[in-house]
Amino acid sequence: MGGSVSELLGTLRDGVAVYEHSDPVLKRALADEREQDRAETHRNGRHLAAVRDNRTNGAAAGEACAVSLTRLSDVKPERVEWLWRNRLPVGKLVTLDGDPGLGKSTLALSVAATVTTAGTWPDSTACGQRSDVLLLSAEDGLADTVRPRLDAAGADVHRVHAIEGITTVDDDGNRVLSPLTLADVTGLEAAITQTAARLLVVDVLMAYLPSGVDSHKDQDVRRVLSRLAGVADKTGCTVLLVRHLNKGAGRDPLYRGGGSIGIVGAARAGLLVAADPDDPERRVLAAVKSNLGPPPRSLSYRLVAADNGVARVEWEGESDHSASELLSDMSDDDRKDRKGAEIWLRQYLEIEGPQAKSREAKKEAQAAGISERTLQRARANLGVVVDCKGMPAVSVWSLPEQVG
């Protein structure tokens, strides 16, 4: 078969054209395909023209016309700063959840007191410099509850400021005090800047969401909290959001705080207050979420009467209870097992101690039907003193009263 390439292509086109004209079905299909190609080309042309117009005219018109990019090599790495290490990151939102009556507000004011005095946290870490605190308190009176609790906690009350609302001037020139919501970010930023506050306590969160915001709708709460998070980041003020628990017994702690999951999603850390399963009079502060550092150990405390007649927090050290365990539906049999393990371990150490070998204690406990996990909880609840003796070192246990 001879001829140039162009001649061959011409012959091929002629053949297709002849066949197209002789087959009406193929003719219609090819016509439709050509029409689709022309339409697609037209659409692409319009899109490219729009992009060119946006690039040249959009910025001048103040329109969002292009994606804004940040090259990560231009970002200077920063260390996370902590108001309370691994619990309260500086300039971030933190949730504090718990049922009514467990002392969330008293605990929040105890935290505020530590910030005002640059005290030592219950895990023996330092708070840093003395700083001011802002309060949004919807459920407790300032004179009969908040101030006495701060006094009982040893706060420098000169550094604590309660936000009572937003002051505006009406048409007649009168000053009007209006309720403040978390949507009033300009007012909140001004208050934080004016006082140089390092902590803002919002007690309770739901009371300060603006009207029209559904606390159970993710988009609604994120819209409010994203702006609040921006203020926290800009000012370096930690925002503690106090919430009641919902009724979802036994669920994941992340889903137990009131309102949408978007609330704890916007927070960088989350804390839970719950009753200790082993002692109804004791409370446990546990971590629910810790995005910026390792999860901290749970801490136990009691609410005791202060000299002025109100409750104050008395810390009792670390707890083995996690947030999930605190919210689980523990059966009566489980509680009996734990209490029985405490009784068994006390009796064992009274006979074998002081300085009973922990390996032998674990072996005897297993023979008595006590799991190692339950034994460890019993040891923690009894305050058993752990030490190492001899060469090679051997772990030994003693009751607190056996240690001189």
DSSP-derived 3-state class of residue 202:
strand
Give the least confident one: 13-22, 26-35, 113-122, 200-209.
13-22
* Whether the predicted pLDDT of 263 surpasses 50: yes
Angle between helices 332-352 and 372-382 (to 10 degrees): 70
The dihedrals phi and psi of 170, each to the nearest 5 degrees, come to -85, -175
% residues pLDDT > 70 (the chain): 82
Report the range of poorest mean pLDDT among 32-41, 158-167, 385-394.
32-41
Which tokens is 205 given?
Answer: 């969160």
Backbone angles phi, psi at 317, to 5 degrees: 100, -165
**pLDDT over 90 at 185, yes or no:** yes
- Classify residue 384 by its DSSP letter: P
With cut-offs at 50, 70 and 90, classify the pLDDT of residue 16: very low
Q: Which of 61-70, 165-174, 254-263 has the lowest mean pLDDT?
A: 61-70
* Contact yes or no for 259/241 (Cβ under 8 A): no
Most confident range, picked from 260-264, 357-361, 386-390: 260-264
pLDDT per position as a tens digit, 194-244? 999 999 999 999 999 999 999 999 999 999 999 999 999 999 999 999 999
Mean residue pLDDT of the chain comes to 85
Mean pLDDT, rounded, for 20-24: 51
pLDDT tens per residue across span 340-365: 888 999 999 888 878 888 889 999 98
What is the predicted pLDDT for the residue at 19? 44
Dihedral angle computed from the Cα positions of residues 175, 179, 182 and 186, in that order, rounded to the nearest 10 degrees: 0
pLDDT in tens, 39-96: 555 555 555 555 455 555 545 555 557 899 999 999 999 999 999 999 999 999 999 9
Share of the chain above pLDDT 90, in %: 56
Answer yes or no: is pLDDT of 316 > 90. yes
Model pLDDT, residue 278? 80
CB 27 within 8 A of CB 34: no
DSSP 146: I
pLDDT at 3 over 80: no
Is the pLDDT reported for residue 391 higher than 90? no
Residue 314, CA distances (Å) to 275, 284, 293, 311 in order: 14, 12, 26, 9
DSSP character string of 111-125 = HHHHHHHT-B-TTS-
Q: Are strands 394-398 and 356-357 parallel, antiparallel or unpaired?
A: antiparallel
pLDDT in tens, 147-163: 999 999 999 999 999 99
**CA dist., res. 369 & res. 352, Å (int):** 19
pLDDT confidence of residue 20? 46
* Alpha carbon 359 to its chain's center: 39
pLDDT over threshold 50, residue 164: yes
